[in-house]
Structure 1
Amino acid sequence: MSFDGLVTRAVTYELKNKVIGGKIQKISQPSKNDIVLSIYSLGKSYKLMISANNNEGRVSFSNEKFENPQNPPNFCMVLRKYLNQSKIIDIEQYKLDRVIIFHISSIDEMGFDVSNKLIVEIMGKYSNIILTDDNFKIIDSIKRVNNKMSSVREILPGKNYNFIKSDKFNILENFDKDIYYIDKKTPDNANPKELLYSTYLGFSPTIANELCYRAGIDTRVNWGLVSEDEKKALNKNIIKLRSKLLENDYTPTLYKENNKFKEFYSFRLRHLQYEYKKYDFISEAIEEFYKVNKSNDRLRQIKNDLERKINSHIKSTKKKITILDKNLSKENSMELYRKSGDLLAANINKISKGMNSIRVNNFYDENKEIKIIIDPLKNPWENVDNYYKRYKKLKNSISYAKKDYPNQIEYLNYLLQLLDFVERSDSINDLDDIKSELISNKIIKDSSRNKKSNKEKSKPKHYITINNSHIYVGKNSRQNDYITLKLAGKHDYFFHVRNAPGSHVILKTDNFNENDLISASYLAASNSSLSNSLKVDVDYTEKKNVNKAKGSKLGMVYYENFNTITVDLSDKPKDLYKRIQ
């Protein structure tokens, strides 16, 4: 995103129109580098987010609810002391830089008028929020900067605040430093885009790209290859941009690709080939950008964490299954140990210490001669006991394996089902439900301090078909159990992708027909671990044929008397159903 000087000007203009003359009624600091001012102005209440976060520095109105710490940070207490119940008398941008100055008036304890300034610098990792008196003497800042942290300037209480000096040209002043002026001093090997944002104050690579695009300039070529016509067009576009800035004529726009916002800006950017949405106010675009992207980032973060933990359990479960499978394969060896012990016992008088092997007649196999390996360091009866012990040990491990093997297979399928639900989740609320299930099954530990949650549980997807039938799709194991075992009647229909993890799908209908069959089958296939396949087999049967084994995990059922339909996922049913929840 580009919170450059041009976006800062649009934000400043919006702030001036809405909150000049307004009263600061409440000040909070929900996180380390964020301040929220609650302002009442012209009969309306506004919530102003001021962030000095490294990657999210911004100033914009917000409708979000913020959770505040029990003990306010020191900077928040300082702001409350100096600014609470104060009046905003002016807001200005410093030149065309990413700096906004709030001029604030209040009455001190003695009844005298006092003026302060709240200065917001939106400069990436150098972003800051600074409170000064009317003479720019620093009272405090959200980030204190000493001379070891910066050789440019210190931001400390008692120091004088100084704006960062820049040699760049401000196009809002007398615009005599146009393209023809800088052309004379620009070497041929300069890059056109870099030339713009390194020459003009408040310009970012984003607006530089846009100006070059509108002028037909390829930003990959050197300045020496830019034609005179292109320079003329570039100059014309800069003058046009200057005019829009002076007139405060903005077109706040948000740019989106694959459900993620890529950029916001105060003007329409033609060089970006993304979906775009226009807004009435720049704050709306900024808030939407951070709200959605932060949710997407948080969603991906939670997903990655849950996937990592579930995959760890899948790995260990597969390892257990491999060991159990290996033990089961030794069942024939088990009997061989027992028979060898029997044969040695029957021929005990022929064995003496120091022998490596003995040949005896195998009365288990028509008295055919058999060679049995023995330990020369053991006496005859110790060798007999050794074979019986090996038989008993193997028998116990095989007996355990036969009992535990199906349990581990079921547990592996359950984990694969959970992993599928996590991968397909599209909301944090859905992931919270899955996380709760993981905690209750002791797959992960509950790290939350507050054991009770007021969050509303997510609900199954709900569709209605053109025949007024209802289709329910589970989004987690608990919902799978609910819609199949409680919501569905015995003559409703159950759908599930064949031999793979996926959502339970229930079709509630009084008139089973082909359209509903196609709709429910498609939803079962597309809401499964095989959703990226081209063709998927889906089983379906009446709910009365679906059963749950005693003690089985959530969402784990078995069914019989079913039919199978092959779904082509490239051929989505059109107009056969719509989602209502």
Structure 2
Amino acid sequence: MLYLDGISLNKIKSELENSLKGKSANKIVQTSSLAISMNFGKQRLIFSCFPSLSLCYLSNTKEDNLLEENSTFSLNLKKHLVGSTLISIKQIGFDRILIFTFSKLNELGEIKTYNLYFEMMGKHSNLILTDKDSKVIDSIKRFSLEENSARVLFPGITYSNPSTEKKLDPSEITKEQFDNELESGTLLKNVEGMGKLLANNFKNFDNFKNILTDDISPKIFFNEHKEIILATVLNIEPKSYSSVESFNSFEELINLYINSENLSNTFKILKDKLLSCVKKERKKAEKIIISIKKDLEEKKDFDRYRELGDILAASLYSLKKGMDKVELYDFYNDSMCTIPLDPLVTPQVNLEKIYKKYNKLKKGMEHNSNRLIEISENLKYFTSVENFIESSDSKENLKLIEDELTAQGYLKISSKQKKKSPKKSQAKTFTFGEIEIDGVLVTYGRNNLENDALTTKYSNRDDLWFHCKDIPGTHAIVNQNTTLNEEQIYNIGVFCGQMSKLPKGTKLTIDYTQVKYLNKPKGARPGFVTYKIFKSIIVQI
């Protein structure tokens, strides 16, 4: 968890101002609908309005531009701020609002001043550009009067602070006031810039003042599994932790935190984009399967028309034109049956109609049966891709999945990619996942392209291959020189089951065989193989 309150932001603001004050903004890119990247020479300042990470920070990695076209907000930022100099960064009291003030010399030789208000308030975060008189020029989020009647941010309107409640200023609070608030348990409610974690860490007034006046102290606390418990710039700590890492600056802390927690804008947006695509296709496949099954159920008695045709053909000589029905002996069921007829046509034409309907239904049933198999395979494929997306821990892995979906035709190539000059196709390089299980190194695919490459290109013929039977998931490979006992085989099978995202406690069958017994059908989707020689083991996740 990244802890960020108004007091934390006050210390981060000072670091940002020391790094950027007096520098010119030479490039501005809107990397997503809720994020802006602003370059000051080689330094890159990110404004993120995502609810999960509403923050501005200096990034050491380049964010991909995932927007198809420039928004009006990014165009306004470029028009007014590119070439301008950052002259100050201020905070409104101890609220989570920063004001970036820029100065620029226009084409008439006039000095123009602009303010960029950054409100870091979770799902209500916003980035607002105003002139020197705080008249709104544009904002990254726009709300109608119906959505927010209490606060208007249309162009031309004077900017107003979203916080209206008056609170105590932490820098001016007296010991008596602090003790009263601490005793009544209202520090969080009545003191500006105070977060819940910070309020729970205070022991007395001196402790509060020390935290307030201390230099920035970036730290990340970990548990015994090296998972992040708390990231903070204040001299506070969680109730329990296993280890702590200190940093020289907030910039170092936030970049490690974002990379560790996969919170970069590019990662989140790409993951959401891929999940949206796969879920849409999966939902479509599920609807088609329901429709096909319903159709198969309705037409399951199609063979009865052949029987009726045979019964009618046996007595065709006794029928005459003009009859609307006939009762004949059903030699298939040893009973009498009534067959409806068209009185306007001859008995021969009636017979042809019945056989024609039978053939039509038969072809429809065959088509639907084949279609059901095809769509069911599609559904398995989309489920496997969704599992891989959910378990992805890097942008590179998501990029491979994006390439796979694009090649399959499920994702369209963006106009920006089309405009890029064609490059010579380069062979993809794969890193694969690796894990040690009971002293055995297991290499596994983290997406279908990696599964394909691992199985068909990077494995030896005698290597051992593991996979969940009839369930989408990872392909796992163990080197041919490794001798496995039953317990190791079982635990590798459990790992394969866990990678398939099945619920804990699920029992499933794991197939394993040598790579030489695998067959990749021509034209098959990535990750799809067939095999006839194999062994199986039942495991419980």
Under a length normalisation based on structure 1, what TM-score does the superposition of the two structures give?
A: 0.70
**Partners of 2:380 and 2:61 in 1: how far apart?**
36
Distance between the aligned counterparts of 1:54 and 1:511, measured in 2?
48
Change (3 A) 1:65 1:529: closer
Cross-structure match for 1:8: 9
Range with greater deviation from structure 2 (309-318 or 429-438): 429-438
Whether 1:316 and 2:288 are equivalent positions in the alignment is yes
Q: In the alignment, which of 520, 541, 562 is matched to residue 513 of structure 2?
A: 541
The match for 1:341 is 312
One-letter identity of the residue aligned with 1:373: T
User: Which of 307, 316, 327 is matched with 2:279 structurally?
Assistant: 307
Shift of 1:483: 3.4
Distance 1:416 1:374 in 2: 44
Tell me what 2:58 maps to: 61
Counting matched residue pairs gives 515
Secondary structure, counterpart of 1:299 in structure 2? helix
Offset from partner CA, 1:172-218 (integer Å, 9 cap, x none): 236255235569xx9xxxxx55x32342222234433x24xx5xxxx
- Deviation of the 1:488 alpha carbon: 4.1
Alpha-carbon contact 1:255-1:263 (below 8 Å) kept: yes
Quote the residue 1:49 is aligned against.
46
Counterpart of 2:381, as a letter, is Q
- Give 2:484's aligned amino acid: N
Give the counterpart letter for 2:193 in structure 1.
G
Task: Indicate whether 1:282 and 2:280 are aligned.
Answer: no
- For residues 159 and 266 of structure 1, the distance between their equivalents in structure 2, rounded to whole angstroms, comes to 33
**Structure 2 Cα separation of the partners of residues 256 and 307 of structure 1:** 34
Partner of 1:572: none
Match of 2:372 among 399, 408, 421: 408
Identity within the alignment, %: 18
Matches within 5 A, 1:137-536: 137-138=133-134, 142-143=138-139, 167-173=166-172, 175=174, 178-180=177-179, 192-193=184-185, 195-208=186-199, 210-211=200-201, 233=203, 236=204, 238-248=205-215, 250-253=217-220, 264-267=231-234, 278-280=245-247, 281-287=249-255, 292-293=262-263, 294=265, 295-296=267-268, 299-300=271-272, 302-321=274-293, 323-324=295-296, 327=299, 329-330=300-301, 332-348=303-319, 353-354=322-323, 356-360=325-329, 370-375=335-340, 378=343, 382-399=346-363, 401-402=365-366, 405-406=369-370, 408-425=372-389, 426-427=391-392, 429-442=396-409, 444=410, 446=412, 448-451=414-417, 459=430, 461-463=432-434, 471-510=442-481, 512-514=483-485, 517-518=489-490, 520-528=492-500, 530=502, 532-536=504-508
- The match for 1:79 is 81
Q: Secondary structure at the match of 1:24?
A: coil
Residue of structure 2 equivalent to 1:30? 30
Give the superposition deviation at 1:559: 1.9
Cα deviation for residue 313 of structure 1 reads 1.2
CA pair 55-377 structure 1, distance change in 2 beyond 3 A? closer
Check whether the contact 1:256–1:263 (CA below 8 A) recurs between aligned residues: no
SS at match of 1:374: strand
Distance in 1 separating the partners of 2:162 and 2:336: 96
What 5-or-longer segments of structure 1 have no aligned partner?
A: 187-191, 215-232, 570-581
User: In the superposition, relative to structure 1, how do residues 378 and 304 fare at CA in structure 2: closer, same or farther (>3 Å)?
Assistant: same
Paired with 1:37 and 1:356, the residues of 2 have a C-alpha distance of 83
Q: How far did 1:162 drift? A: 9.2
Structure 2 unaligned regions, length at least 5: none
Q: Deviations over 1:209-238 (max 9, x none)?
A: x24xx5xxxxxxxxxxxxxxxxxx5xx1x4
Answer yes or no: is the 8 Å Cα contact 1:433–1:458 preserved in 2. no
80 and 525 in structure 1: CA distance in 2 versus 1, 3 angstrom threshold: closer
Contact 1:255 1:276 survives alignment (8 Å)? yes
Which TM-score applies when normalising by structure 2?
A: 0.74
Residue type of the alignment partner of 1:374: I
Q: CA deviation at 1:566?
A: 2.5
Match of 1:221 in 2: none
Q: 1:339 to 1:119 in 2, by over 3 A?
A: closer
Cα distance in 1, alignment partners of residues 272 and 453 from structure 2:
27
When residues 409 and 274 of structure 1 are mapped into structure 2, their CA distance, relative to the original with a 3 A threshold, is: farther
Alpha-carbon distance in structure 1 between the residues aligned to 2:525 and 2:297:
22
CA contact (8 A) 1:38 1:47 kept: yes
The secondary structure found in structure 2 opposite 1:495 is strand
Give 1:78 shift.
Answer: 1.6
Deviation of the 1:439 alpha carbon:
4.7
Q: 1:103 and 1:256, CA in 2 relative to 1: closer, same or farther beyond 3 A? A: farther
* CA shift in 2, pair 1:323/1:65, >3 Å: same
**3-state DSSP class of the match of 1:320?**
helix
Deviation at 1:416, TM superposition (A): 1.0
Output the CA distance in 2 between the equivalents of 1:451 and 1:92: 40
Cα deviation per residue 1:469-522 (whole Å; 9 max; x = unaligned)?
A: 875433444444443344444433333222333333344414553276456534
Match of 1:122 among 116, 119, 124: 119
Q: 1:544 to 1:262 in 2, by over 3 A?
A: closer
Q: CA RMSD in A?
A: 4.9
1:172 partner SS: coil
Q: Deviations over 1:364-393 (max 9, x none)?
A: 67xx975241336627x7345334422333
